[in-house]
Amino acid sequence: MSVTLAGMAEQPKRGYSREFPIDQSRRIKREIDWVQPSLDRSLRAKLKREGLSLRVLTLRLWTEWVGR
């Protein structure tokens, strides 16, 4: 897939979600190791279509799961 600077300028930027504000006292970084490329492409395409960030999706899923 080829991306140009002109094409990037046409796409609106997603705003940073205030749904999960960052607590400035202590932040913990979580990483997922080695995701299949086809899953990653599908995930990123759907996130873009729905205007979400990976961070918001992940935090929503974790919040829902922990709250059960």
Q: What digits encode the pLDDT tens for the residues 13-67?
A: 666 667 767 666 777 888 888 999 999 999 999 999 999 999 999 999 999 999 9
Q: How far is the C-alpha of 14 from the C-alpha of 53, rounded, in Å?
A: 8
Answer yes or no: is 48 within a domain: yes
- Structural contact between residues 14 and 53, judged by C-beta atoms closer than 8 angstroms: yes
Residue 43 lies in a domain: yes
Residue 25 lies in a domain: no
Containing structural domain, residue 43: 33-68
The number of folded domains in the chain is 1
Residue 46 lies in a domain: yes
pLDDT band at 12 (very low <50, low <70, confident <90, very high): low
pTM, two decimal places: 0.60
Question: Would 50 be classed as within a structural domain?
Answer: yes
Q: Does a structural domain hold residue 1? A: no
Residue 37 confidence (pLDDT): 96
The pLDDT assigned to 8 comes to 53
pLDDT at 18: 72
Residue 20 within any structural domain of the chain: no
6 is a domain residue: no
